[in-house]
Structure 1
């Protein structure tokens, strides 16, 4: 099976840097809607047999143009939602950005016991995302290609931990709105990353370079930026 893990289109919070992980979440911006409309043509070569989205509004809005183009329904899958920001929810300040990204890096490095401030730990996240993916696998044939609309931090951490990426590579990953990771079943079980699309599926012209997109930027970049804001001489690249 092939999983196309596609990030949702741009939201106002992706522009402002606000941590927005609670339901129902923000809608799409004008650019976000344009990014969503570009997805069907960009995936025209893929034989997609199912379309799944998280319970948050932005993934469902992003999945809709593809579903309409393919004559398929968007299946809502609890467990695919963004990694909860806990008590950092709604904040857009550098300290909140650093705390959120530092926790994600800790999980990528293997410290799944570390909790998000006021939120889940890495075991919680992996457990619910694994369960959602497993249900999708059970609902499709082994040769199917399935589009799964999820979120920036969730896709990056899941791909790092389940796709066989090393920690250094995972910290440097970026995924812009409607960027995607492509995972395939390995012989003997598990997933392998066969492609990583940093740019929007419709092309880099659909990227907003001025946006403060915390969950799409690389962990290394966010931690460097927050270190500079704090006036530190050495960037805080690790938790």
Structure 2
């Protein structure tokens, strides 16, 4: 089975670099809409059996052009939503961003019972995403696009793919409409996936990139955060 994980398009909160995780969340900006439309030609050569998106408005809007082009129904699942910022919701200052990512980094290194202040534990986050992936697998689907969120995709891929470097999460940048392709390699029950492609920039092309306005970025946080 192949998963194509796609981060949603740009939102006003990305431009303002805020930890905006509450539902339903903001709509796409004009650039975000262009990024969503660009998914159609960018993925034209990839077969797709289904398209899933999180319950957040921005994820569904990002998926919609692809859904219409492929003639598929959009499958919306709560488990694909962003990692909740909890008490840090709508914060945009660097200390808050560091606090958020420090918890996520701890999850990557095995501290899965650590709770985001006012939010979820790592185990809860991974479990809800795992549940959707299990549903896809049990349905016998082989090629599935999943439109989700930056922190969620990075965390899940890092924890479930055997070929990731958990000690250096800053390596895995993912701008709006960046894409991660994984294949199920079996074997390790904890990390049964293998990343075959990680495209950090918008897959529609460099002209759609606005890396200074696509949300709080992991490179802003140095090694002391971990």
TM-score by length of 2: 0.94
Measure, in 1, the Cα distance between the counterparts of 2:23 and 2:160: 25
Residues 182 and 197, structure 2, Cα contact 8 Å, conserved in 1: yes
Measure, in 2, the Cα distance between the counterparts of 1:212 and 1:197: 15
Q: Gapped runs of 5+ residues in structure 1?
A: 225-234
Measure, in 2, the Cα distance between the counterparts of 1:140 and 1:28: 32
Alignment-derived partner of residue 17 in structure 1: 17
Residues 179 and 201, structure 1, Cα contact 8 Å, conserved in 2: yes
Deviation by residue 1:140-179 (Cα, 9 ceiling, x = unmatched)? 33xx210000000000000000012121343321000000
SS in 1 for 2:169: helix
Mark the CA change 1:169 to 1:194 in structure 2 (over 3 Å): closer, same or farther.
Answer: farther
Mapped pair 1:96 → 2:96:
yes
* Pairing of 1:1-239 with structure 2 (within 5 A): 1-141=1-141, 144-164=142-162, 165-188=164-187, 190-211=192-213, 213-214=215-216, 217=217, 219=218, 221-224=219-222, 236-238=224-226
SS in 1 for 2:111: coil
Deviation by residue 1:36-87 (Cα, 9 ceiling, x = unmatched)? 0000100011011100000110000000000111111111012000000001
SS in 2 for 1:79: helix
RMSD, matched Cα: 1.3
Residues 54 and 150, structure 1, Cα contact 8 Å, conserved in 2: yes
SS in 1 for 2:212: coil
Measure, in 1, the Cα distance between the counterparts of 2:143 and 2:45: 11
Measure, in 1, the Cα distance between the counterparts of 2:214 and 2:35: 17
Residues 63 and 149, structure 1, Cα contact 8 Å, conserved in 2: yes
Pairwise CA distance, 1:212: 5.7
Mark the CA change 1:58 to 1:145 in structure 2 (over 3 Å): closer, same or farther.
Answer: same
Pairwise CA distance, 1:236: 2.2
